[in-house]
Amino acid sequence: MTAHVWGAGSTDFGRQTERLPAELAWEAVTEALLDADVDRIDAAFVGTVFGSFGLGQRALVGAGLAGVPVVTVENACASGSTAMHEAKAAIESGRYEHVLVLGVEHLTSLFKGPIASDATDTEQATGLLFPGIYAMTASRYLYDHHLEPEDLAHVAVKNSAHGALNPRAQRGRALTLEEIMGSRMIASPLTLFQCAGLSDAAAAVVLGPHRRSPRDVAIRASELGAGGPWDHASPHVWGHDLVSRTARSAYDAAGVEPADADVVELHDAFTIGEIVTLEALGLAGDGEAPAAVEAGEHSLGGATPVNPSGGLLSRGHPLGATGVAQVVELTTHLRGEAGARQVEGARVGLLETMGGGAAGVDGNACVVAVFEGG
Amino acid sequence: MTLGLMPAAEPRPVVEDAPEGPVLSGVRCRACEHPVAVRVPRCPRCSGETESASFGPDGVLWSTTTFYVSSGEREAPYTLGYVDLDHGPRLLAHVDDGPELEPAVAERVRLTGRTPVGDPLVELVR
């Protein structure tokens, strides 16, 4: 039995300080339920990183789903996609039939500046907030491949152009290379527009077994990995090996290769994140991702469009909601319903989300999943 | 409500004064000799038992970044580096005078102690 996406929904992405986290969830869940055309839900898997006590239950009771068992998942930036991964397994094992996956986060009520992990985490305790972790990767990557900072910024040019086609995107405007490089330096070499902003949003999908609906999207494979040790003995920058290993498992499980992907949603919390991930997924050779992005290979209309939603950089990165938002985006493309940003003829979709923050671990969690339209 | 209290334990690697100067007090695996910056009971690489070991003070910048956003008691700009200590582990440390000196990846550094807020501190060896 293969789990399918039956319905998808989300809120807008951005600063929504006047709305409660549960309100965001109600909107996304209601849209997903209507889209799925279901009369009951058996269980809910909720992804949230900083979501407060009982957020999943409050979200469900207000959406008319009181009494549905809830499992809440924290797996850093991969929380939402881990919730999807577990929901898929619950369906395929026969434990549940109709499962809601909800991702929700309200970052503007928690942070004013860069996001920190946990006060007992070595990196945060030493003053290395999230942009710094990726900046460390960026500095090393540029050194290893003899590149310049603006070679990374083309990712933000591309994803902002995509985001301008997404009415729900947080940064709904195409940015120039000059604007991106000229924006405020956050953690060298990463400037402000190379970092995802604080975002409040919810996204939801309803999963179920195969049914006779041409709009349903099959989840061909989903793999969840956790990082091994990351230290002086590691051959690559932080997170690379975790993504690479998880992707290989997902490709094998789905019977596909990277070149089979028609549309990709991947984890670009920072420009360097997309660069490293393109290479770890096998979509670009070692050190070749910046040139491929600049050449348009991963733009809409290119060989393999990546982050047509605008990605985390432009659609927005409400941590726990991000993985579910990626599922929503891929579902929309595989149904042929993505409008101005539709990847024409998309049949196979690839999802990757990776989260964590060093502390000796090569990523807390990574989910790579392969989707196929009907 | 939460009290916002922290455990008394220190999450940062321990930098101590030794006769030869500041050193990182970490552990080394008894089985595979892999060095680790924090005092973990088991080796992250082979699961072997660990024992106390000191590392430093010399090393090389594996990577570096200068932060332009303040964090807690640290005023921006400040510079951090992942330092691969010679024959030792990777250590996250602040780089003294980093914003002015603009350290580069692969530069040599030396452990000099801790910053006023207790972060491991290195200086560039130029």
What tens-digit pLDDT sequence spans chain B (126 residues)?
445 555 567 889 999 999 888 999 999 999 999 999 999 999 999 999 999 999 999 999 999 999 998 877 889 999 999 999 999 999 999 999 999 999 999 999 999 999 999 999 999 999
* Nearest residue, CB atoms, B7 vs list A120, A185, A360: A120
Q: Is the link from the previous residue into A189 a cis peptide, with omega within 30 of 0?
A: yes
By a Cβ cutoff of 8 Å, what residues of chain A touch chain B? 113-114, 116, 119-123, 125-129, 131-132, 135-140, 143, 184-190, 228-229, 231-233, 358, 360
- Give me the pLDDT at residue B3, please: 53
Question: Which of A129, A133, A139 has the most B C-beta neighbours within 10 Å, making it the best mutation to test the interface with B?
Answer: A139
Percent of chain A, pLDDT > 70? 100
* Nearest residue, CB atoms, B65 vs list A135, A231, A358: A135
Chain B: residue nearest A186 by CA? B68
> Taking a C-beta distance cutoff of 8 angstroms, is the pair A126, A364 a contact?
no
Q: In Å, how far is B107's CA from the nearest CA of chain A?
A: 12
Check whether A181 has a pLDDT greater than 80.
Answer: yes
Mean pLDDT of all residues in A296-314: 98
Mean pLDDT of all residues in A111-116: 81
- Give me the pLDDT at residue A31, please: 97
Enter the ipTM: 0.94
Chain B: residue nearest A144 by CA? B105
Q: Where are the alpha helices (DSSP H) in A225-288?
A: 240-254, 271-280
- Name A212's Cβ contacts closer than 8 Å, sequence gap at least 6: none
Residues composing chain A? 374
Q: How many other β-carbons are positioned within 10 Å of the β-carbon of residue B7?
A: 8
CB half-sphere exposure, A286, CA atoms < 13 A: 8
From chain B, the residues in CB contact with A232 under 8 A are: 35, 62, 84, 88-90
Check whether A344 has a pLDDT greater than 90.
Answer: yes
Nearest-Å Rg of the Cα atoms of chain A is: 19
Q: In Å, how far is B38's CA from the nearest CA of chain A?
A: 9
Whether A77 is catalytic: yes
From chain B, the residues in CB contact with A185 under 8 A are: 66, 68
> Taking a C-beta distance cutoff of 8 angstroms, is the pair A84, A78 a contact?
no
Check whether A85 has a pLDDT greater than 90.
Answer: yes
* Nearest residue, CB atoms, B69 vs list A140, A143, A186: A186
Q: In Å, how far is A111's CA from the nearest CA of chain B?
A: 12
From chain A, the residues in CB contact with B37 under 8 A are: 231, 360
Mean pLDDT of all residues in A255-264: 98
Mean pLDDT of all residues in A367-374: 96
Mean pLDDT of all residues in A43-59: 92
Q: Which residues of B67-76 are buried (b: 16+ CB within 10 A; e: fewer)?
A: bbbebeebee
- Mean pLDDT across chain A, nearest whole number? 96
Whether A162 is catalytic: no
Tell me whether residues A127 and B74 touch, CB distance under 8 A: yes
Tell me whether residues B45 and A139 touch, CB distance under 8 A: no
Mean pLDDT of all residues in A51-70: 92
- Give me the pLDDT at residue A57, please: 94
Chain B: residue nearest A139 by CA? B63
Q: In Å, how far is A189's CA from the nearest CA of chain B?
A: 7
Tell me whether residues A121 and B13 touch, CB distance under 8 A: no
Q: In Å, how far is A241's CA from the nearest CA of chain B?
A: 15
- Give me the pLDDT at residue B8, please: 61
Q: Which of A106, A236, A317, A333 is catalytic?
A: A317
Tell me whether residues A184 and B66 touch, CB distance under 8 A: no
CATH, domain range B20-124:
2.40.50.840
Question: Which of B27, B69, B109 has the most A C-beta neighbours within 10 Å, making it the best mutation to test the interface with A?
Answer: B69
- Give me the pLDDT at residue B5, please: 56
From chain A, the residues in CB contact with B71 under 8 A are: 114, 116, 127, 129
Check whether A322 has a pLDDT greater than 80.
Answer: yes
Instruction: Note the pLDDT tens digit of each residue in A238-259.
Output: 999 999 999 999 999 999 999 9
Question: Which structural domains are found in chain A, ordered by start?
Answer: 4-109+200-216 (3.40.47.10), 123-195+219-373 (3.40.47.10)
Instruction: Note the pLDDT tens digit of each residue in A156-178.
Output: 999 999 999 999 999 999 999 99
The pLDDT confidence band at residue A212, using thresholds 50, 70 and 90, is confident
Cα distances (angstroms) measured from residue A3 to each of A27, A89, A90, A222, A370? 24, 8, 9, 10, 12
Check whether A358 has a pLDDT greater than 80.
Answer: no
What is the interface size between A and B, counted as CB pairs within 8 Å?
A: 104
Cα angle, residue B109 at apex, residues B106 and B111 outer, rounded to 5°: 145
The residue with greater pLDDT, A53 or A148, is A148
- Is the pTM above the cut of 0.80? yes
The pLDDT confidence band at residue A301, using thresholds 50, 70 and 90, is very high
